[in-house]
Amino acid sequence: MTPGGRDKGAIAVSLALVALALFVFGQLPSIPADGGYSVLGPRFAPMLVGVGLLAVGLMLLRQALAGGWRAMPPPPDEPLHRPAFLWIAGGMALHMAIIGTVGFTLASTLLFVLVARGFGSRRPAHDAIVGAVLAASVFLFFTRILRLALPASPLGGL
Amino acid sequence: MGGLDGLAGGFAIAFTAANLAWAFVGCLLGTAVGVLPGVGPAVTIALLLPLTTQLEATSALIMFCGVYYGAMYGGSTTSILLNSPGESASIATTLEGNAMARRGRAGAALATAAIGSFVAGTVSTVLVTLVAPPVAEWGLSFGPPEKFALMVLAFMTISAVLGHSALRGFASLFVGLFIGLIGTDVMSGQIRFALGLQELYDGIDVVVVAVGLFAVGETLHVASHERRVVETVERIRGSLWMSGRDFRRSVGPWLRGTAIGFPFGTMPAGGAEIPTFLSYATEKRLCKGPDRFGEGAIEGVAGPEAANNASVTAALIPLLTLGLPTSATAAIILTGFQQYGIQPGPLLFATQADLVWALIASLYLGNVMLLVLNRPMAGVWAKLLTIPRPMLYAGIVVFATIGAYGMRNSWFDLFLLLLFGLLGYAMKRSDIPVAPCLVGMILGPRADTELRRALQISQSDFSVFLTRPISAALLAFAVLLVAAPVLVRRHNARRGRA
């Protein structure tokens, strides 16, 4: 990544911290200040945290604008490999969306295949078999031995 | 109850068949996980938390400690056989350990790491046995102001001491404190920052945050930035044992490493990174042996490994006696206690004496188990390193989702997992440490409670924190920790200009 690109990241993270601080301040009025028996109410700690976030965010923003954060380790030699990132993050989003309907084993197998794809695997069938065996054994271990609930497939069973 | 009486009772409990079995399972699991790159002890214990709800508290905690210890032993295998270290505390070992393995001395390196860990772990456990009861007794005199001051000190050290920048440490801490605020406030019953979402009324679960930040964040990072890294696994060639000369050269580093690691473990400085490097530097300076540093000197493996284990063991003192976690892993173990409604702290030694001593006794046993397990299973552990990366990380992500989803079967937890995974990735990219976030999230609500209790007692007089000597000293120390480096830097800059 170019030095310029890295600074953009630092500015974005600093701004995110400031935004979080503003969100905290925005929520404060909805928290009662009155603490009942205790002197300080439930609003006090959020206020401190909001001030802390704002201070840290602004100091980091100043550093980022003045040429980058200080004492940063050298950036990694490899730029972001966007497809890999999207395979994994997208795989998790899909898994979240379908686990309730298609059941644990199927959703987990699909997730396994997509993450492996993100790591450069070109053998989806092989990955699917490994993933299915892993997911099915975990499902049986959880539901039979630990007696914890996991969603079954629409057809019942695994 | 004195330390030795307590310990005898602890051994009686730890020696039951079931608890021995759980300690063994923990050691085995911990070593396996420690060997795997990409999953550290913090994630493993976080993933085990929801699974152990049906287990008795003592057994579950004995198992967690086995995982905690085992991960350290397993980590050394990875640093010696693999050219990239699994975690920051094993970088020092990698320097000499991997050089030794390349020269066909992997067996000796693994042996000195294992025996050094055993020596350091056992010596430190003896120290824990002796030191913990008096510290707990001292802790009994702590009121809310002291407890609050202690947590402030922990926040300061974990944010400011570790990592490259105190400012980024504090960024992580405050995000963690914010996460901790979400949900119902214990003191007033008011709901904060839940945005009307019922799923957030009970707060965000530590498991989701820890697994998201560590496991998912790490997976995203490795997949998208370390694709060209080629990991070469050294084979274990030659003798599995150390020669008499290796042994003589290791004894000094083991003992010095223990002496360096132990005090660091008791301080909330975020784990074993600093002492392992200190030990490495010490051995490098003292080394007169035939192998030079950088080419596989056994002293450079023996010292840091001992320092690592000593500091990991010593971390149990503040955790058990004051309820203060000094690293991310210790913070997760703290959550493990809370899951059973047990609050580590000075009262623990009085109210849950059996549990504490059984735990400490199991540390002695765990060290023996790990030493014995290490030799015959070295080949199996080395095999684990050859799992192809796509399979390894796909498995890690699947287990992460199980950990998040299994708790209450809600897709919302999977959403949070992804969210914290993205946050972990962004933090890793920005060199923002994760440990302060986790400790802030876990200790934050307690600090909030103690602060309000302290002011309730003092009738909203803030000077209560400064008029009570222990609280004042702790706070002064906390301020000094943050201010001193800044002042020194200014001073040097001024001198540089002059």
How far is A43 from A49, CA to CA, in rounded Å?
10
Instruction: Give B-chain residues touching A78 at CB under 8 angstroms.
Output: 225-228
Direct distance between the N- and C-terminal alpha carbons of chain A, in angstroms, rounded to an integer: 45
Q: What is the ipTM of this complex?
A: 0.91
Residue A125 lies in a domain: yes
Chain B nearest-CA residue for A129: B391
How far is B371 from B305, CA to CA, in rounded Å?
13
DSSP A57-87: HHHHHHHHHTTS-SSPPPPPSSPP-HHHHHH
pLDDT at res. B163: 72
Pick A37's closest partner by Cβ from B177, B448, B456.
B456
Tokens 């923002």 belong to residue: B432
Residue A59 lies in a domain: yes
Are residues A88 and B219, on separate chains, in Cβ contact within 8 Å?
Answer: yes
pLDDT-derived band of residue A4, with 50, 70 and 90 as boundaries? very low
Q: How many helices (H) and strands (E) does chain B have?
A: 22, 2
| Cα within 13 Å of Cα(A30), Cβ side | 11
pLDDT at res. B354: 87
Q: Could you read off the pLDDT tens digit of each residue along chain B, which spans 498 residues?
A: 466 778 888 888 888 888 899 999 999 988 888 888 777 778 888 877 777 777 788 888 888 888 888 888 888 888 888 876 656 677 788 888 888 888 888 888 999 999 999 999 999 999 999 999 999 988 888 999 999 999 999 898 888 877 778 899 999 999 999 999 998 888 788 888 888 888 888 889 888 999 999 889 989 998 998 877 777 788 777 677 788 888 888 989 999 999 999 988 887 665 677 888 889 888 888 877 666 787 888 899 999 999 999 998 999 999 999 888 888 888 888 888 888 888 888 888 888 888 899 989 999 999 999 998 877 888 888 888 888 989 999 999 998 998 888 878 889 999 999 999 999 999 988 989 888 999 999 999 999 999 988 988 888 788 888 888 889 998 998 888 888 777 777 787 777 665
How far is B460 from B441, CA to CA, in rounded Å?
25
Rounded to 5 degrees, φ, ψ at B233 are -95, 120
pLDDT at res. B102: 87
Are residues A148 and B414, on separate chains, in Cβ contact within 8 Å?
Answer: no
pLDDT at res. A5: 47
Which of B 227-256 lie inside 8 A of A, CB atoms? 227-228
Which of A 34-93 lie inside 8 A of B, CB atoms? 35-42, 44-46, 49, 52-53, 56-57, 59-60, 63, 69-73, 76-82, 84-85, 87-89, 91-93
Are residues B227 and A81, on separate chains, in Cβ contact within 8 Å?
Answer: yes
Q: Measured between CA atoms, how close is B191 to chain A, in angstroms?
A: 8
In three-state secondary structure terms, B345 is coil
Residue A158 lies in a domain: no
Instruction: Specify the amino acid at residue B140.
Output: L
- Domain definitions of chain B by residue range: 3-497
Instruction: Give B-chain residues touching A92 at CB under 8 angstroms.
Output: 216, 397, 401, 414, 417-418, 421
- The H or E element that residue A113 is part of is helix A104-118
Nearest to B303 by CA among B330, B329, B326, B272: B272
How far is B147 from B159, CA to CA, in rounded Å?
18
pLDDT at res. A57: 96
Same domain, A10 and A36: yes
Domain boundaries, position A13: 3-65
Give the pLDDT confidence of B199-213 residue by residue, as tens digits: 888 889 888 999 999
pLDDT at res. B495: 72
Residue A99 in tokens? 């686990």
Same domain, A56 and A105: no
How far is B129 from B2, CA to CA, in rounded Å?
10
| Cα within 13 Å of Cα(B427), Cβ side | 30
How far is B459 from B426, CA to CA, in rounded Å?
43
Percent of chain A at pLDDT exceeding 70: 86
Residue A151 lies in a domain: no
Q: Measured between CA atoms, how close is B408 to chain A, in angstroms?
A: 9
Are residues A88 and B51, on separate chains, in Cβ contact within 8 Å?
Answer: no
Pick A116's closest partner by Cβ from B228, B390, B411.
B390
Which of B 374-433 lie inside 8 A of A, CB atoms? 388-391, 393-395, 397-399, 401-402, 405-406, 409, 411, 414-415, 417-418, 421-422, 426, 429-432
Which of B 157-186 lie inside 8 A of A, CB atoms? 164-165, 167-168, 170-171, 173-175, 177-178, 181, 185
Tokens 């085990």 belong to residue: B48
How far is B368 from A88, CA to CA, in rounded Å?
40
Residue A119 lies in a domain: yes
Pick A53's closest partner by Cβ from B174, B401, B460.
B174
Cβ count near A48 (within 10 Å): 16
Are residues A72 and B167, on separate chains, in Cβ contact within 8 Å?
Answer: no
Nearest to B387 by CA among A135, A119, A78, A60: A119
Question: Dmax of chain A from CA atoms?
Answer: 64
How far is B72 from B257, CA to CA, in rounded Å?
15
Rg of the Cα atoms in chain B: 22
Rounded to 5 degrees, φ, ψ at B192 are -120, 135
pLDDT at res. B497: 60
Residue A90 lies in a domain: yes
pLDDT at res. A108: 95
Q: Measured between CA atoms, how close is B120 to chain A, in angstroms?
A: 32
How far is B168 from A156, CA to CA, in rounded Å?
49
Is residue B307 within 8 Å of B258, Cβ to Cβ? yes
pLDDT at res. B115: 92
Instruction: Give B-chain residues touching A145 at CB under 8 angstroms.
Output: none
Nearest to B142 by CA among B326, B321, B304: B321
How far is B273 from A77, CA to CA, in rounded Å?
24
How far is B203 from B179, CA to CA, in rounded Å?
8
3-state helix, strand, coil in chain B (%, to 5): 75, 0, 25
| Cα within 13 Å of Cα(A141), Cβ side | 10
Give the pLDDT confidence of B217-269 residue by residue, as tens digits: 989 998 998 877 777 788 777 677 788 888 888 989 999 999 999 988 887 66
How far is B70 from B340, CA to CA, in rounded Å?
23
B465 interfaces chain A, CB cutoff of 8 Å:
no
Is residue A106 within 8 Å of A153, Cβ to Cβ? yes
How far is A111 from A121, CA to CA, in rounded Å?
13
Burial label, A2 (beta-carbon count in 10 A; 0-12, 13-18, 19+): exposed
pLDDT at res. A3: 46
Q: Measured between CA atoms, how close is B329 to chain A, in angstroms?
A: 24
Is residue B217 within 8 Å of B428, Cβ to Cβ? yes
Residue from B49, B159, B188, B396 to probe the interface with A (highest A Cβ count within 10 Å): B188
Tokens 């945050």 belong to residue: B209
How far is B332 from B129, CA to CA, in rounded Å?
22
Angle at A80 between CA B177 and CA A123, to 5 degrees: 110
pLDDT at res. B496: 65
Instruction: Give A-chain residues touching B431 at CB under 8 angstroms.
Output: 69, 72-73
Instruction: Give B-chain residues touching A116 at CB under 8 angstroms.
Output: 390-391, 393-394
